[in-house]
Structure 1
Amino acid sequence: MRLDRIQVELRPRSPWEAMELGLAMVRRYARTIWLAWFALSLPLFAILNAAAWMLDALPWAGIAMWWLKPLFDRLPLFVLSRAVFGGAPTVRETLSAPRVFGWGGLLRDLTWGRPSLTRSVAMPVTLLEGAKGEQLRERRKAIVGARGSGAAMGLTFLCMTFEGILALSCVTAVFLFVPMEYLSESALAVWSLLFESPPKWAWLAWNAIVWSAMSFVEPFYMGAGFAFYLNRRTHLEAWDLELAFRRLATRLRAAVPLGVALCIGLAAGAWMPAHATPSEAPITAERAAAAAAAAAAKAPRRPLEQAIDGPAFVEDARFAGAVGDAYRDPLLNPKRKQSFWELRWKPDAKRSANPGSGVGEVFALLFKAAMWLAAIGAAVLILWQIKRWWGPMWQGGKAVPEPSPIAEAAVPMPETLPADVASAARKLWMQGQARAALALLYRGSVQKMVERANAALAPGATEAECLRASRRMPSAEDREAFAQVVRVWQHAAYAQRLPDNDAFESLLQRAASRFGWAA
């Protein structure tokens, strides 16, 4: 690992700031990352779904693609780990990432390590540092640790949420193209298509949507985890200081020739012979010694020399004052007064050895209270429903009579419509046959709609088909009146929601005035 070739600014960052740096790196090398991603995952997606189509097991193909995420995660990690140190790989080189990293860590990532929530940070430790066994566990613990696990798990949950939002958005986007009058029928159709009896093509479309969402989010997930890994190593190993010292050493090495040249020049000048003027007397050894003795006699004696030569140490008052001022400086010897409350009783050794035991006791007490409330609620529910659940036991062993079967019968309708549909429907409503009255009103409205729209309906046409055919009616008021009759009939037929007397009378008068039934 060549720190001097690193392409990002290494400095201690907060976890989320480091992850933002990882997202920027993914955007910088997006072309290489996603081309390699699709080159590996798209053929595998096609093979798995084709095999699942033949075996009628398409849900398992989607689960398999999700489970193989660690295999695909090696591609963005390879690109970023090479690019951050100055050598961005090509797509062909990126596709060889599993072979370069080896297959040892892949077995762990696809088996017992697959549910890990810190995969984005732990995978760089395994693949980039080359540690194994106990050393690998120690490195994972040091990098992820207590400080890194929370942010790594938060990143995992955040990316899972984004994937779910993207997948559900693709499904719900279908409703943007559905007219409002067909929205309820379309929602029921989608529910039946996806959850009750989904066909093969629906499962295949869902697998493609989930794979697309995973392909969009997963490279950002690994990029954020890799940047967080670099930030943790910067914190633990002081990479920023090491780079600063390396730059300083480089500058010093560049200044060495200049310093050597300067020293050589000074030495040459010191050894050059001096030319004495005629007025100067020659310097002899006796004169040099006498001059040195005179200078020593005139020089002031320091306290250490006085202690050696004299019987006692003579302290200078000004020096003592300066020392006292230095010791009184708050920057050198800071002091402050702090008041606080202290308990009269002292905690025992076990409690003081574990400072978090108080918080643990509070959570334990809350959990215990919640369990007791749940138990009491379950007991009350059992006592409240025991007579309903164990009815024969309360009746002395007598069997409870089974309720009479519900009689279902079709609404009797005349073969031909009456001349005055409005009067006939009102008569049925007054006799208490509300469903028959609404059915007659619906049949009469459909007949008038077919005449005015010049449409042909197949036998057994649904309400939605009738609404589509009613768009050909030239009058907008006729179309609105017919849509209102259809909605009221649907509420009565499928939701057992009957209108009140005023609502029925208003609907009857509007339909009669629009379709010519009024006397």
Structure 2
Amino acid sequence: MRLDRARVELRPRSAWEAMELGTALVRRHARAIWRPWAIATLPLFALLNAAAWTIDALWLAALAMWWLLPLFDRIVLLVLSRAVFGQAPGAREVLAAQWRLGWRGTGARLAWARPSPWRSIAMPVELLEGLDGDALRQRRNVVVDGIQGHAFLLTLVSQLFVVALLVSLLSLVLMFVPAELLSESARAMWSLVTDAPPRWAQLGFNLALWLALSTIEPFVVGAGFGLYLSRRVRIEAWDIELALRRMRARLAAPVACVLAAALLLPVPARAQASPAQRIEAERERRAHLPPKSVPDERSAPADTDADTLARVFGESALADTRPFRQAVRRAHEDPLLDRSRLVRSWEPRNRREPQQRELPPWLLAAGRVVAIVAEYGLWLLLGIAVLVAALTARRWWPWMRGLAAPRASATPVEHAAVVEPDTLPDDLTGHVRRLWREGRPRRALALLYRGSVEAMAARAGVHLVPGATEAECLRASRRLPEADDRDAFARVVRVWQHAAYARRLPDDAAFESLLDALSRRFGWAR
């Protein structure tokens, strides 16, 4: 992989910008993606639907096309990986490269890892980096870490787009229906889809699903590939490596010019002497210097330094090195350049180093098995549950639809609305008692309450509006001149409320007591 040949700018991006980069790559190389996609998926679509037609289960073809999407995603991933670092391959090259790409992880992606929402960012690690075993698992965890939430939202939104596009394709038929026939056509279409649809309708649904998946799925893979690129740029510092390469390219030309000029310059005559001869001459010259120029004890290593400087930099370095040493000493004394830190902490006196015990190989293997089951077990159970529900839909779906059917009213006729005549009977007490004995207590209490309300209004001299509530009748009964009349009316109101709203009927003795009291108070006994 040559980073300098990248067709996109390799720099750290946010997750949203990385997904936008992936979708832009899909739009740019749409021809190179959808042509091999159609060549690979259309024959398989026809084969699956033909097989499902023979067994009268076309829904299995739709489920199989959706389940095999990881196989088709390899086409999009191969095109994008080649296009980012070179030219986009042709359709024939893409289809031929599927066999060379390998089938690493394909079984897992088609089995327990199929419902995984992180498939779009884990698949580039498995197919493009050529790792296997523990190295692949660790690498996948490193790449996926930090972008799981964005990958989950990407998968969720893509499924919503597929559903929206599928509904739009099915509703497209209604655009050709006249407006005056739209409601009847929509009702007929709904019944056609839900109530035993014919085979041609199921085949049309499968075709609409294939179009929706073929439109949305390449963008999902592209967005996941953009997240994968952004993650690798951050982990491996691709942008810094590219900057250093550009810097080296800029500095290579001036350095070459300087070296060429140095080779062409004439060599001075004094340079004919060897470095060892020049160092020996310098030592003889220093031996004849006056005593005041002899360095002190602190500068004793000056000869060694001078020899080293002379061998490396020549005679220009044989000058007095005291200012240089002073500058170095001041630099080391600068607190800003001092990297040392004093850290104080409490430690136990008798420290015991933890003993690391190596686990047996069989226990490590069992731990790996348990980890794999814990990681993919729930997804496997979910897939099995969905598959079982789909296979047994003909048994439980009619039962689910039957839950919405209106239930027949189990309320007895006695609890239905009571319709009373406009006028009260002449013998109100005898009529109420007869209804009670015939097994119609609620109607008897309703008639008794109505007679009490009319008697109260007549005696209190008030006019009640039609449909007056019990509270309004109680407020009107306060105008009754006698307290016993008010108590008797309040008693019948309370008994009627218990019977009408709480279905709490009085016993025979309480009913007879109430009827006798009201008959005496309102003059029905006479």
Q: What is the TM-score normalised by the length of structure 1?
A: 0.54
Q: What's the counterpart of residue 34 of structure 1?
A: 34
Between the aligned residues of both structures, percent identity stands at 50
Question: Displacement of 1:304 after TM fit?
Answer: 6.5
- 1: distance between equivalents of 2:9 and 2:87? 16
Question: Displacement of 1:148 after TM fit?
Answer: 1.2
The aligned runs of 1:51-450 (5 Å cut-off) are 51-145=51-145, 147-265=146-264, 268-269=267-268, 271=270, 289=285, 293=289
Q: Secondary structure at the match of 2:134?
A: helix
> Given the superposition, is the C-alpha separation of residues 290 and 32 from structure 1 closer, same or farther in structure 2, using an over 3 Å criterion?
closer
> Given the superposition, is the C-alpha separation of residues 255 and 53 from structure 1 closer, same or farther in structure 2, using an over 3 Å criterion?
same
Query: Does structure 1 conserve the Cα–Cα contact (< 8 Å) formed by 2:104 and 2:127?
Result: no
- 1: distance between equivalents of 2:94 and 2:104? 18
> Given the superposition, is the C-alpha separation of residues 249 and 290 from structure 1 closer, same or farther in structure 2, using an over 3 Å criterion?
closer
Following superposition, which runs of at least 4 residues in structure 1 exceed 6 angstroms of deviation? 296-299, 301-304
| Partner AA of 2:211 in structure 1 | S
- 1: distance between equivalents of 2:296 and 2:139? 57
Question: Displacement of 1:271 after TM fit?
Answer: 4.4
Query: Does structure 2 conserve the Cα–Cα contact (< 8 Å) formed by 1:68 and 1:110?
Result: yes
Q: Secondary structure at the match of 2:113?
A: coil
Question: Displacement of 1:54 after TM fit?
Answer: 1.9
> Given the superposition, is the C-alpha separation of residues 200 and 253 from structure 1 closer, same or farther in structure 2, using an over 3 Å criterion?
same
- 1: distance between equivalents of 2:138 and 2:168? 42
| Partner AA of 2:103 in structure 1 | W
The gaps in structure 2 that reach 5 residues or longer are 273-280, 303-326, 340-406, 414-526
The superposition leaves residues 318-365 of structure 1 with CA deviations (integer Å, 9 ceiling, x where unpaired) of x9xx99xx86x9x999xxxxxxxxxxxxxxxxxxxxxxxxxxxxxxxx
Question: Displacement of 1:130 after TM fit?
Answer: 1.1
Question: Displacement of 1:267 after TM fit?
Answer: 6.8
Question: Displacement of 1:56 after TM fit?
Answer: 0.8
| Partner AA of 2:184 in structure 1 | E
Question: Displacement of 1:174 after TM fit?
Answer: 2.4
Query: Does structure 2 conserve the Cα–Cα contact (< 8 Å) formed by 1:33 and 1:76?
Result: yes
Q: Secondary structure at the match of 1:12?
A: coil
- 1: distance between equivalents of 2:296 and 2:88? 66
| Partner AA of 1:11 in structure 2 | R
> Given the superposition, is the C-alpha separation of residues 97 and 297 from structure 1 closer, same or farther in structure 2, using an over 3 Å criterion?
same
Query: Does structure 1 conserve the Cα–Cα contact (< 8 Å) formed by 2:19 and 2:227?
Result: yes
Say if 2:8 is the partner of 1:8: yes
Greater relative CO (CA pairs within 8 A, separation 6+): 2
The superposition leaves residues 239-285 of structure 1 with CA deviations (integer Å, 9 ceiling, x where unpaired) of 11112222333344444432322333567247479xxxxxxxxxxx8
The superposition leaves residues 144-183 of structure 1 with CA deviations (integer Å, 9 ceiling, x where unpaired) of 01x1111111111111111111111111222233333222
Question: Displacement of 1:129 after TM fit?
Answer: 0.7
| Partner AA of 2:222 in structure 1 | G
Query: Does structure 1 conserve the Cα–Cα contact (< 8 Å) formed by 2:49 and 2:61?
Result: yes
- 2: distance between equivalents of 1:107 and 1:292? 88
Query: Does structure 2 conserve the Cα–Cα contact (< 8 Å) formed by 1:156 and 1:221?
Result: yes
| Partner AA of 1:6 in structure 2 | A
Query: Does structure 1 conserve the Cα–Cα contact (< 8 Å) formed by 2:101 and 2:127?
Result: yes
> Given the superposition, is the C-alpha separation of residues 240 and 307 from structure 1 closer, same or farther in structure 2, using an over 3 Å criterion?
closer
Question: Displacement of 1:81 after TM fit?
Answer: 0.8
| Partner AA of 1:97 in structure 2 | A
Query: Does structure 2 conserve the Cα–Cα contact (< 8 Å) formed by 1:75 and 1:97?
Result: no
Q: What's the counterpart of residue 48 of structure 1?
A: 48
The superposition leaves residues 188-223 of structure 1 with CA deviations (integer Å, 9 ceiling, x where unpaired) of 101101111211111111111110011111111111
- 2: distance between equivalents of 1:105 and 1:292? 82
Q: Secondary structure at the match of 1:7?
A: coil
Question: Displacement of 1:108 after TM fit?
Answer: 1.4
Q: Secondary structure at the match of 1:36?
A: helix
Query: Does structure 2 conserve the Cα–Cα contact (< 8 Å) formed by 1:71 and 1:98?
Result: no
- 2: distance between equivalents of 1:99 and 1:124? 16
- 2: distance between equivalents of 1:29 and 1:292? 82
| Partner AA of 1:241 in structure 2 | I
The superposition leaves residues 11-33 of structure 1 with CA deviations (integer Å, 9 ceiling, x where unpaired) of 10001101111111111111111
Query: Does structure 1 conserve the Cα–Cα contact (< 8 Å) formed by 2:154 and 2:220?
Result: yes
Q: Secondary structure at the match of 1:104?
A: coil
| Partner AA of 1:213 in structure 2 | A
- 2: distance between equivalents of 1:88 and 1:5? 13
> Given the superposition, is the C-alpha separation of residues 290 and 221 from structure 1 closer, same or farther in structure 2, using an over 3 Å criterion?
closer
The superposition leaves residues 117-136 of structure 1 with CA deviations (integer Å, 9 ceiling, x where unpaired) of 01110000000011111111
- 1: distance between equivalents of 2:301 and 2:267? 41
Q: Secondary structure at the match of 2:120?
A: helix
Question: Displacement of 1:2 after TM fit?
Answer: 2.1
> Given the superposition, is the C-alpha separation of residues 302 and 101 from structure 1 closer, same or farther in structure 2, using an over 3 Å criterion?
farther
| Partner AA of 2:13 in structure 1 | R
> Given the superposition, is the C-alpha separation of residues 291 and 74 from structure 1 closer, same or farther in structure 2, using an over 3 Å criterion?
same
Question: Displacement of 1:302 after TM fit?
Answer: 12
- 1: distance between equivalents of 2:238 and 2:288? 55
Q: Secondary structure at the match of 1:268?
A: coil
The superposition leaves residues 454-495 of structure 1 with CA deviations (integer Å, 9 ceiling, x where unpaired) of xxxxxxxxxxxxxxxxxxxxxxxxxxxxxxxxxxxxxxxxxx
- 1: distance between equivalents of 2:288 and 2:253? 43
* Matched pairs, number: 321
| Partner AA of 1:222 in structure 2 | V
Question: Displacement of 1:297 after TM fit?
Answer: 6.6
- 2: distance between equivalents of 1:13 and 1:66? 31
Structure number with greater Rg is: 2
> Given the superposition, is the C-alpha separation of residues 260 and 307 from structure 1 closer, same or farther in structure 2, using an over 3 Å criterion?
closer
Query: Does structure 2 conserve the Cα–Cα contact (< 8 Å) formed by 1:7 and 1:84?
Result: yes
Query: Does structure 1 conserve the Cα–Cα contact (< 8 Å) formed by 2:104 and 2:126?
Result: no
> Given the superposition, is the C-alpha separation of residues 267 and 226 from structure 1 closer, same or farther in structure 2, using an over 3 Å criterion?
farther
Q: Secondary structure at the match of 1:245?
A: helix
Q: What's the counterpart of residue 514 of structure 1?
A: none
Question: Displacement of 1:112 after TM fit?
Answer: 1.2
Question: Displacement of 1:72 after TM fit?
Answer: 0.5
> Given the superposition, is the C-alpha separation of residues 142 and 303 from structure 1 closer, same or farther in structure 2, using an over 3 Å criterion?
farther
| Partner AA of 1:19 in structure 2 | M
Query: Does structure 2 conserve the Cα–Cα contact (< 8 Å) formed by 1:74 and 1:97?
Result: no
- 1: distance between equivalents of 2:127 and 2:301? 67
| Partner AA of 2:232 in structure 1 | R
> Given the superposition, is the C-alpha separation of residues 111 and 263 from structure 1 closer, same or farther in structure 2, using an over 3 Å criterion?
same
- 2: distance between equivalents of 1:103 and 1:307? 68
- 2: distance between equivalents of 1:228 and 1:38? 26
- 2: distance between equivalents of 1:142 and 1:27? 29
Q: What's the counterpart of residue 18 of structure 2?
A: 18
